[in-house]
Amino acid sequence: MPGVVGIIDQGRGGSTISCREITINGFEQLRAATPTSSAEIIQIQPGRMQGHLKHASVAGLSLGFGTFSHGVISRGVYSDDRVTIGFLTQVNRRRSSQRGIGGIRIWSPGVEHQSRYVAGVSFGAISVSTEDMARFFGPDSRFSEPTAWLGRSAFHTNPETGDAPARVLRSIMAGFDRCAGKLGPSEAEYWKRAIIESACYAIANSEQSAVFVSSPQRLVRRAQEYLDASGDAPIHISELLAYLRVSRRALHRAFDEVLGIPPMRYLRQKRLCEARLLLQHGAATGVTVAEVAFRQGFSDFSRFSAYYRVLFGENPSET
Protein backbone atom coordinates (compact mmCIF):
# COMPACT_ATOMS: atom_id res chain seq x y z
CA MET A 1 0.00 0.00 0.00
CA PRO A 2 1.12 3.62 -0.45
CA GLY A 3 3.23 4.96 2.40
CA VAL A 4 1.50 7.84 4.15
CA VAL A 5 4.15 10.43 4.87
CA GLY A 6 1.83 13.22 6.01
CA ILE A 7 -0.35 13.30 9.11
CA ILE A 8 -4.10 13.87 9.13
CA ASP A 9 -4.66 17.04 11.14
CA GLN A 10 -7.58 17.49 13.50
CA GLY A 11 -8.67 21.12 13.75
CA ARG A 12 -10.07 23.05 16.62
CA GLY A 13 -13.67 22.37 17.49
CA GLY A 14 -13.84 19.45 15.09
CA SER A 15 -12.31 20.95 11.96
CA THR A 16 -13.63 19.46 8.74
CA ILE A 17 -10.30 19.83 6.92
CA SER A 18 -7.73 17.04 6.81
CA CYS A 19 -4.60 16.55 4.71
CA ARG A 20 -2.26 13.73 3.82
CA GLU A 21 0.60 13.02 1.44
CA ILE A 22 1.34 9.67 -0.18
CA THR A 23 4.59 8.50 -1.75
CA ILE A 24 4.16 6.38 -4.88
CA ASN A 25 6.70 3.68 -5.77
CA GLY A 26 4.64 1.45 -8.07
CA PHE A 27 1.81 1.73 -10.60
CA GLU A 28 -0.43 -0.38 -8.37
CA GLN A 29 -0.45 2.41 -5.78
CA LEU A 30 -1.88 4.75 -8.40
CA ARG A 31 -4.59 2.14 -8.95
CA ALA A 32 -5.25 1.91 -5.21
CA ALA A 33 -5.52 5.68 -4.99
CA THR A 34 -8.22 5.85 -7.67
CA PRO A 35 -11.61 6.82 -6.21
CA THR A 36 -13.50 3.78 -7.48
CA SER A 37 -12.76 0.08 -7.72
CA SER A 38 -13.85 0.13 -11.38
CA ALA A 39 -10.87 2.26 -12.37
CA GLU A 40 -7.92 0.61 -14.12
CA ILE A 41 -4.33 1.85 -14.36
CA ILE A 42 -1.92 0.29 -16.86
CA GLN A 43 1.73 1.35 -16.91
CA ILE A 44 2.94 1.68 -20.51
CA GLN A 45 6.38 3.26 -20.18
CA PRO A 46 9.31 1.25 -18.77
CA GLY A 47 11.00 1.96 -15.45
CA ARG A 48 10.26 2.09 -11.74
CA MET A 49 7.17 4.21 -11.12
CA GLN A 50 7.66 7.03 -8.65
CA GLY A 51 5.56 9.99 -7.65
CA HIS A 52 3.55 11.76 -4.97
CA LEU A 53 -0.11 12.29 -4.18
CA LYS A 54 -1.44 15.04 -1.94
CA HIS A 55 -5.02 14.94 -0.75
CA ALA A 56 -7.24 17.25 1.28
CA SER A 57 -10.79 16.68 2.48
CA VAL A 58 -12.67 19.96 2.95
CA ALA A 59 -16.21 19.85 4.35
CA GLY A 60 -17.09 16.85 2.19
CA LEU A 61 -15.17 18.03 -0.88
CA SER A 62 -12.09 16.12 -2.03
CA LEU A 63 -9.10 17.93 -3.55
CA GLY A 64 -5.99 16.12 -4.76
CA PHE A 65 -2.78 16.71 -6.69
CA GLY A 66 -0.40 14.11 -8.06
CA THR A 67 2.60 13.54 -10.25
CA PHE A 68 4.12 10.35 -11.60
CA SER A 69 7.31 9.50 -13.43
CA HIS A 70 6.15 7.10 -16.16
CA GLY A 71 3.35 7.04 -18.71
CA VAL A 72 0.07 5.31 -17.89
CA ILE A 73 -3.37 4.69 -19.32
CA SER A 74 -6.22 5.41 -16.93
CA ARG A 75 -9.74 4.13 -17.56
CA GLY A 76 -12.89 3.77 -15.52
CA VAL A 77 -15.54 5.74 -13.63
CA TYR A 78 -14.25 8.33 -11.20
CA SER A 79 -17.40 8.40 -9.10
CA ASP A 80 -20.95 7.08 -9.31
CA ASP A 81 -22.47 9.86 -7.22
CA ARG A 82 -20.15 12.88 -7.45
CA VAL A 83 -19.03 15.40 -10.04
CA THR A 84 -15.32 15.03 -10.85
CA ILE A 85 -13.25 17.94 -12.15
CA GLY A 86 -9.84 17.04 -13.51
CA PHE A 87 -7.07 19.28 -14.81
CA LEU A 88 -3.45 19.04 -15.86
CA THR A 89 -1.12 21.38 -14.00
CA GLN A 90 2.15 20.64 -15.81
CA VAL A 91 2.55 19.30 -19.33
CA ASN A 92 5.58 18.70 -21.51
CA ARG A 93 4.57 21.13 -24.26
CA ARG A 94 6.50 19.25 -26.93
CA ARG A 95 4.28 16.20 -26.31
CA SER A 96 1.02 17.96 -25.44
CA SER A 97 -0.57 16.82 -28.71
CA GLN A 98 -0.81 13.29 -27.30
CA ARG A 99 -4.33 12.01 -26.84
CA GLY A 100 -5.84 12.66 -23.44
CA ILE A 101 -3.95 15.92 -22.86
CA GLY A 102 -6.08 18.97 -22.19
CA GLY A 103 -6.77 21.75 -19.69
CA ILE A 104 -9.88 21.16 -17.59
CA ARG A 105 -12.53 18.49 -17.97
CA ILE A 106 -15.63 17.74 -15.92
CA TRP A 107 -17.27 14.34 -15.64
CA SER A 108 -20.81 13.82 -14.41
CA PRO A 109 -21.45 10.96 -11.96
CA GLY A 110 -21.09 7.58 -13.64
CA VAL A 111 -19.41 8.86 -16.81
CA GLU A 112 -16.42 6.79 -17.94
CA HIS A 113 -13.06 8.39 -18.60
CA GLN A 114 -10.11 7.15 -20.62
CA SER A 115 -6.83 9.05 -20.91
CA ARG A 116 -3.20 8.43 -21.73
CA TYR A 117 -0.70 10.40 -19.65
CA VAL A 118 2.96 10.82 -20.56
CA ALA A 119 5.82 10.76 -18.09
CA GLY A 120 6.20 13.83 -15.91
CA VAL A 121 2.59 14.98 -16.06
CA SER A 122 1.16 16.61 -12.95
CA PHE A 123 -2.57 16.49 -12.43
CA GLY A 124 -5.24 17.66 -10.05
CA ALA A 125 -8.78 16.53 -9.33
CA ILE A 126 -11.79 17.62 -7.32
CA SER A 127 -14.69 15.43 -6.27
CA VAL A 128 -17.84 17.19 -5.08
CA SER A 129 -21.51 16.35 -4.67
CA THR A 130 -24.06 17.44 -7.27
CA GLU A 131 -25.91 19.33 -4.52
CA ASP A 132 -22.80 21.38 -3.67
CA MET A 133 -22.26 22.19 -7.35
CA ALA A 134 -25.86 23.29 -7.80
CA ARG A 135 -25.71 25.39 -4.61
CA PHE A 136 -22.54 27.11 -5.78
CA PHE A 137 -23.95 28.24 -9.14
CA GLY A 138 -27.14 29.65 -7.58
CA PRO A 139 -30.74 29.91 -8.81
CA ASP A 140 -30.11 31.92 -11.99
CA SER A 141 -27.76 29.43 -13.63
CA ARG A 142 -28.43 26.48 -15.92
CA PHE A 143 -26.38 24.49 -13.40
CA SER A 144 -28.58 25.36 -10.41
CA GLU A 145 -30.32 21.97 -10.23
CA PRO A 146 -28.47 18.80 -9.16
CA THR A 147 -30.03 17.01 -12.15
CA ALA A 148 -28.03 19.32 -14.47
CA TRP A 149 -24.95 17.36 -13.44
CA LEU A 150 -26.44 13.92 -14.05
CA GLY A 151 -26.54 11.80 -17.19
CA ARG A 152 -24.06 10.58 -19.78
CA SER A 153 -22.42 13.93 -20.40
CA ALA A 154 -19.13 15.72 -20.02
CA PHE A 155 -17.99 19.34 -20.15
CA HIS A 156 -15.07 20.43 -22.29
CA THR A 157 -13.31 23.72 -21.65
CA ASN A 158 -10.50 25.59 -23.37
CA PRO A 159 -7.21 23.71 -22.80
CA GLU A 160 -5.51 27.04 -22.09
CA THR A 161 -7.73 27.79 -19.07
CA GLY A 162 -6.18 25.20 -16.78
CA ASP A 163 -3.11 27.10 -15.60
CA ALA A 164 -4.65 29.94 -13.56
CA PRO A 165 -7.10 27.78 -11.54
CA ALA A 166 -4.34 25.23 -10.92
CA ARG A 167 -2.09 27.91 -9.43
CA VAL A 168 -4.86 29.06 -7.10
CA LEU A 169 -5.69 25.53 -6.01
CA ARG A 170 -2.04 24.72 -5.29
CA SER A 171 -1.86 27.85 -3.16
CA ILE A 172 -4.95 26.77 -1.22
CA MET A 173 -3.48 23.28 -0.73
CA ALA A 174 -0.26 24.85 0.60
CA GLY A 175 -2.34 26.83 3.07
CA PHE A 176 -4.01 23.63 4.26
CA ASP A 177 -0.56 22.11 4.85
CA ARG A 178 0.19 24.95 7.25
CA CYS A 179 -3.17 25.67 8.83
CA ALA A 180 -5.63 22.78 8.42
CA GLY A 181 -5.53 21.93 12.12
CA LYS A 182 -6.39 25.51 13.06
CA LEU A 183 -9.49 25.94 10.89
CA GLY A 184 -13.04 25.36 12.03
CA PRO A 185 -16.21 24.36 10.12
CA SER A 186 -17.05 27.90 8.97
CA GLU A 187 -13.58 28.39 7.48
CA ALA A 188 -13.80 24.97 5.87
CA GLU A 189 -17.09 25.93 4.18
CA TYR A 190 -15.49 29.11 2.86
CA TRP A 191 -12.52 27.25 1.39
CA LYS A 192 -14.81 24.63 -0.15
CA ARG A 193 -16.55 27.40 -2.06
CA ALA A 194 -13.23 28.97 -3.03
CA ILE A 195 -12.05 25.62 -4.40
CA ILE A 196 -15.22 25.10 -6.44
CA GLU A 197 -14.96 28.66 -7.76
CA SER A 198 -11.37 28.14 -8.91
CA ALA A 199 -12.13 24.76 -10.48
CA CYS A 200 -15.25 26.08 -12.24
CA TYR A 201 -13.48 29.10 -13.70
CA ALA A 202 -14.42 28.16 -17.25
CA ILE A 203 -17.48 25.95 -16.79
CA ALA A 204 -20.09 28.70 -16.99
CA ASN A 205 -19.09 29.45 -20.59
CA SER A 206 -18.51 25.88 -21.67
CA GLU A 207 -20.82 23.64 -23.63
CA GLN A 208 -22.37 20.51 -22.21
CA SER A 209 -22.77 17.78 -24.77
CA ALA A 210 -23.63 14.14 -25.01
CA VAL A 211 -20.55 11.99 -25.01
CA PHE A 212 -19.62 11.38 -28.63
CA VAL A 213 -17.85 8.13 -29.27
CA SER A 214 -16.09 7.77 -32.63
CA SER A 215 -15.79 4.45 -34.41
CA PRO A 216 -12.18 3.86 -33.22
CA GLN A 217 -13.24 4.71 -29.66
CA ARG A 218 -16.17 2.30 -29.87
CA LEU A 219 -13.90 -0.45 -31.14
CA VAL A 220 -11.34 0.10 -28.36
CA ARG A 221 -14.10 0.23 -25.75
CA ARG A 222 -15.61 -3.04 -27.00
CA ALA A 223 -12.17 -4.64 -26.81
CA GLN A 224 -11.66 -3.40 -23.27
CA GLU A 225 -15.11 -4.55 -22.19
CA TYR A 226 -14.28 -8.03 -23.50
CA LEU A 227 -11.00 -7.98 -21.55
CA ASP A 228 -12.86 -6.84 -18.43
CA ALA A 229 -15.29 -9.74 -18.73
CA SER A 230 -12.38 -12.19 -18.85
CA GLY A 231 -11.22 -11.18 -15.38
CA ASP A 232 -7.56 -11.95 -14.66
CA ALA A 233 -7.24 -14.51 -17.47
CA PRO A 234 -4.98 -13.55 -20.41
CA ILE A 235 -6.63 -12.98 -23.78
CA HIS A 236 -4.86 -13.86 -27.02
CA ILE A 237 -5.01 -11.28 -29.80
CA SER A 238 -6.67 -13.80 -32.15
CA GLU A 239 -9.53 -14.30 -29.69
CA LEU A 240 -10.04 -10.55 -29.53
CA LEU A 241 -10.05 -10.22 -33.32
CA ALA A 242 -12.57 -13.05 -33.65
CA TYR A 243 -14.89 -11.48 -31.10
CA LEU A 244 -14.68 -8.00 -32.64
CA ARG A 245 -14.85 -9.37 -36.20
CA VAL A 246 -12.17 -6.97 -37.42
CA SER A 247 -8.76 -7.34 -39.02
CA ARG A 248 -5.52 -7.04 -37.09
CA ARG A 249 -4.72 -3.90 -39.08
CA ALA A 250 -8.07 -2.25 -38.24
CA LEU A 251 -7.61 -2.95 -34.53
CA HIS A 252 -4.04 -1.63 -34.68
CA ARG A 253 -5.25 1.64 -36.26
CA ALA A 254 -7.99 2.05 -33.63
CA PHE A 255 -5.68 1.50 -30.64
CA ASP A 256 -3.02 3.77 -32.13
CA GLU A 257 -5.56 6.56 -32.68
CA VAL A 258 -7.25 6.30 -29.27
CA LEU A 259 -4.42 5.21 -26.95
CA GLY A 260 -1.27 5.82 -28.95
CA ILE A 261 0.01 2.23 -28.60
CA PRO A 262 -0.65 -0.95 -30.64
CA PRO A 263 -3.04 -3.59 -29.24
CA MET A 264 -0.32 -6.23 -28.78
CA ARG A 265 1.67 -3.91 -26.54
CA TYR A 266 -1.49 -2.91 -24.65
CA LEU A 267 -2.31 -6.58 -24.00
CA ARG A 268 1.26 -7.33 -22.87
CA GLN A 269 1.45 -4.34 -20.53
CA LYS A 270 -1.94 -5.25 -19.09
CA ARG A 271 -0.80 -8.83 -18.46
CA LEU A 272 2.42 -7.61 -16.82
CA CYS A 273 0.44 -5.30 -14.54
CA GLU A 274 -1.86 -8.17 -13.56
CA ALA A 275 1.21 -10.35 -12.93
CA ARG A 276 2.65 -7.73 -10.59
CA LEU A 277 -0.54 -7.65 -8.55
CA LEU A 278 -0.51 -11.46 -8.31
CA LEU A 279 3.15 -11.49 -7.26
CA GLN A 280 2.48 -9.03 -4.46
CA HIS A 281 0.06 -11.56 -2.97
CA GLY A 282 2.28 -14.53 -3.78
CA ALA A 283 3.62 -15.03 -0.27
CA ALA A 284 0.10 -15.41 1.11
CA THR A 285 -1.16 -17.69 -1.67
CA GLY A 286 1.98 -19.78 -2.18
CA VAL A 287 2.12 -19.10 -5.92
CA THR A 288 5.55 -19.04 -7.61
CA VAL A 289 6.90 -16.50 -10.09
CA ALA A 290 6.94 -19.13 -12.85
CA GLU A 291 3.30 -20.01 -12.15
CA VAL A 292 2.27 -16.34 -12.27
CA ALA A 293 4.12 -15.89 -15.58
CA PHE A 294 2.43 -18.88 -17.16
CA ARG A 295 -1.00 -17.91 -15.84
CA GLN A 296 -0.57 -14.56 -17.57
CA GLY A 297 0.34 -16.15 -20.91
CA PHE A 298 4.16 -16.06 -20.80
CA SER A 299 5.61 -19.48 -21.62
CA ASP A 300 9.19 -18.17 -21.86
CA PHE A 301 10.13 -17.35 -18.26
CA SER A 302 13.30 -15.47 -19.19
CA ARG A 303 11.41 -13.27 -21.63
CA PHE A 304 8.73 -12.61 -19.02
CA SER A 305 11.43 -11.58 -16.53
CA ALA A 306 13.02 -9.29 -19.11
CA TYR A 307 9.71 -7.59 -19.96
CA TYR A 308 8.92 -7.27 -16.26
CA ARG A 309 12.33 -5.83 -15.38
CA VAL A 310 12.12 -3.24 -18.15
CA LEU A 311 8.59 -2.12 -17.22
CA PHE A 312 8.87 -2.04 -13.42
CA GLY A 313 12.59 -1.62 -12.80
CA GLU A 314 12.96 -4.78 -10.69
CA ASN A 315 12.97 -8.55 -11.08
CA PRO A 316 9.77 -10.52 -10.49
CA SER A 317 11.43 -12.27 -7.56
CA GLU A 318 12.11 -8.90 -5.91
CA THR A 319 8.42 -8.05 -6.12
Q: What is the mean pLDDT of residues 78-105?
A: 62
Q: Are 199 and 173 in contact (CB under 8 A)?
A: no
Q: Determine the pLDDT at residue 14.
A: 44
> Of the candidates 152, 51, 160, 168, which has an alpha carbon nearest to the alpha carbon of residue 101?
160
How would residue 184 be classed by pLDDT, with cut points 50, 70 and 90?
A: confident
Q: Are 310 and 43 in contact (CB under 8 A)?
A: no
Q: Determine the pLDDT at residue 310.
A: 92
Q: What rounded mean pLDDT belongs to the chain?
A: 77
Identify the H or E element spanning 282: helix 282-285
For domain 215-312, give the CATH number. 1.10.10.60
Q: Determine the pLDDT at residue 273.
A: 92
Classified as helix, coil or strand, 286 is: coil
Q: Are 126 and 162 in contact (CB under 8 A)?
A: no
- DSSP states of 35-87: SSTT-EEEE-S-S---EEEEEEEETTEEEEEEEESS-EEEEEES-SSEEEEEE
> Of the candidates 316, 227, 311, 317, which has an alpha carbon nearest to the alpha carbon of residue 46?
311
Residue 187 predicted with pLDDT over 50? yes
Residue 209 predicted with pLDDT over 70? no
Residue 6 predicted with pLDDT over 70? no
Q: What is the mean pLDDT of residues 254-267?
A: 91
Residue 206 predicted with pLDDT over 90? no
Over pLDDT 70: what percentage of the chain? 76
pTM assigned to the model? 0.66
Backbone angles phi, psi at 45, to 5 degrees: -110, 140
**Euclidean distance between CA atoms 166 and 68, whole angstroms:** 17
Residue 75 predicted with pLDDT over 50? yes
How many Cβ atoms are within 10 Å of 280's Cβ, its own excluded?
12
> Of the candidates 233, 199, 185, which has an alpha carbon nearest to the alpha carbon of residue 17?
185
Q: Each residue of 279-314: pLDDT tens digit?
A: 988 766 777 888 888 888 887 888 899 999 999 999
Could you tell me the residue ranges of all domains in the chain? Answer: 3-210, 215-312
What per-residue string of b and e applies to 32-42 under the rule 16 or more CB within 10 Å gives b? ebebeeebbbb
How many Cβ atoms are within 10 Å of 87's Cβ, its own excluded?
27
How would residue 90 be classed by pLDDT, with cut points 50, 70 and 90?
A: low
Classified as helix, coil or strand, 144 is: coil
Q: Determine the pLDDT at residue 5.
A: 32
Distances 282 to 156, 289, 290, 317 between C-alpha atoms, Å: 43, 8, 11, 10
Q: Determine the pLDDT at residue 262.
A: 93
**How far, rounded to the nearest angstrom, does the alpha carbon of residue 244 sit from its chain's CA centroid?**
27
Q: Are 203 and 155 in contact (CB under 8 A)?
A: yes
Q: Each residue of 33-61: pLDDT tens digit?
A: 554 546 788 888 888 888 888 888 888 89
Residue 243 predicted with pLDDT over 80? yes
How would residue 74 be classed by pLDDT, with cut points 50, 70 and 90?
A: confident
Q: Each residue of 129-139: pLDDT tens digit?
A: 988 888 777 66
Residue 199 predicted with pLDDT over 80? no
Q: Determine the pLDDT at residue 269.
A: 92
Q: Determine the pLDDT at residue 85.
A: 84
Q: What is the mean pLDDT of residues 219-236?
A: 86
Q: Each residue of 136-168: pLDDT tens digit?
A: 776 656 677 788 777 655 555 555 555 667 777
Backbone angles phi, psi at 104, to 5 degrees: -125, 140
